[in-house]
A = this chain, B = another copy of it.
Amino acid sequence: MTQTLTLDDVNAMSQAEFVAALGDIFEHAPWVAENAWHVRPYETVKELHQAMFNAVRGRGPTDRIAFLNGHPDLGGALARARAMTAASNSEQGGLGLDKLDDARFAQFEAMNASYKERFGIPFILCVRRHTRASVLRQFARRLKNPLAVERDAAMGEVFFITRLRVADRVNGPGMPAVNGRFSTHVLDTTTGKPAANIPITLFELDDGNALPVAEAVTNADGRTNAPLLGGAPLRIGQYELRFDMRAHFAGRPSLADPPYFDTIPIRFAVAEPEGHYHVPLLAAPWSYTTYRGS
């Protein structure tokens, strides 16, 4: 997303301008911006976000719960109707939670109802940090939390949600590190050289289905010209990276027919959305090694 404001712009705003510009970052809570405005100027974008977050955290439990209750259900009727705030529409839409089929919609509705009954607030999750399968896994896991733990978890998610929204909106020094990066590297251990021109596809695994999320071809250094994923948080979840080695190994003297390896799949999980995942492949025609690199 293009940030349209600089930190200098923000620091120069009147309270009314500030609330107009950033009042929707905390869902249905313009008072957060009103409050945070008083601690200007911000030296970094991180500080701006922290000031806003502190405005919520400084409130008593009743206010905080009221604030949490201002959030929409995940995959709920409002999502389906795209009747949430613009940010929520975009975040939930990014996962397709606005287009669930009827069975899935019912599943989300049931989980939302259980959750609300148990905790008295809607289930809040920074969906931009999760695959859809991970959202469901989090739902199931957090339903088992004690109340106090779960309220902290909800506030933790608010932190992630709003940090991303601030980073989308404001540009300046001290940006929070909200983006992850996914890269790979293919080396041919028979030649001691990078393997160029290897087609690579990255799939997200969702309940047995493999959904392609990125494609690339390795360059002369055996890497991709740009990270396979980047410029956003990586979504927590399961992935499969597939390397199409057939053309690369074709014609080697010791190859079998069909060749022992053709497409090499590597399945792994992302657990740190803001991390760097480097997933290399060291390949020979009859053996390969993969590892998490750095």
Question: A-side interface residues toward B, CB under 8 Å?
Answer: 134, 137, 185, 187-194, 221-222, 236-238, 240, 252, 254, 256-265, 267-269, 271-272, 282, 284-294
Contact = CB atoms under 8 A, between A and B. Distances in A.
**Residue from A192, A221, A285 having most chain B Cβ neighbours under 10 A:** A192
A286 B294 contact: no
A237 B269 CA distance: 29
5 contacts: A187-B291, A187-B293, A191-B286, A192-B291, A236-B258
A192 B292 contact: yes
B288 A292 contact: no
A282 B281 CA distance: 13
Contacts of A189: 189-190, 284-287, 291
A135 to B, nearest CB: 13
A190 B285 contact: yes
A286 B190 contact: yes
Contacts of A272: 256
Contact of A271 (B237, B257, B284, B293): B257
B192 A256 contact: yes
Contact of A269 (B187, B191, B256, B290): B256
Contacts of A265: 240, 265, 267
Contacts of A194: 294
A287 B287 CA distance: 11
B267 A192 contact: no
Contact of A294 (B187, B256, B258, B262): B187
A282 B271 contact: no
A285 B192 contact: yes
Contacts of A222: 294
A164 B282 CA distance: 35
Given A191-B254, A256-B269, A287-B291, 11 more contacts: A137-B258, A187-B294, A190-B285, A192-B256, A192-B285, A221-B294, A282-B291, A284-B284, A286-B291, A287-B290, A287-B292
